[in-house]
Homo-oligomer: A and B are copies of this chain.
């Protein structure tokens, strides 16, 4: 009898998309939890306001998804910043609109990531050698990291952040 060795499935592509979008729904609620002015002005310890942290997530997600699918990467400068970034909204509604556009971009492009692509290496943004799965995890982890910082901003404003474990 033939023996077939299979690699265990830790998480399927579909489940990883859902995992990420669950996090993104929570981040969206975090954006909404800020008073409109504080979103763009308030921070702790000289850090960036939450609008800038959320803006970073947006600016990374779309171009990364494009690169994961196509292997083509938008140009960045020597500090890793995109040369052709989307305009930065200056209202809460504008930021949420851009957030939702990115949600659609991710959902549209995700099924176009070739199944064997997750384990491939690429040079992300022509700068960082990485497996594709690792690049995806970096996006999610960076979002969790900065959202956690937004929770501290909210707490120090006396505002209860959305529950961490709710992802619906």
Closest-by-CB residue of B relative to A138 is: B165
Interface of A is mostly: helix
A115 touches B (CB below 8 Å)? yes
Closest-by-CB residue of B relative to A23 is: B141
- Asked if B9 and A118 make an inter-chain contact with CB atoms under 8 angstroms apart, the answer reads yes
Identical copies in the complex? 2
- From B10, B11, B13, B144, A144 is in contact (CB under 8 Å) with B144
Closest-by-CB residue of B relative to A117 is: B8
A142-B164, A148-B145 known; A155-B11 Cβ under 8 A = no
Other A-B pairs, 8, CB within 8 Å; known A9-B118, A144-B144, A152-B152? A6-B6, A10-B12, A10-B16, A10-B118, A138-B165, A141-B144, A145-B164, A149-B149
- Show the binding face of A for B, using Cβ within 8 Å: 6-13, 15-16, 19, 23, 44-47, 115-116, 118-119, 131, 133-134, 137-138, 141-142, 144-149, 151-158, 164-165
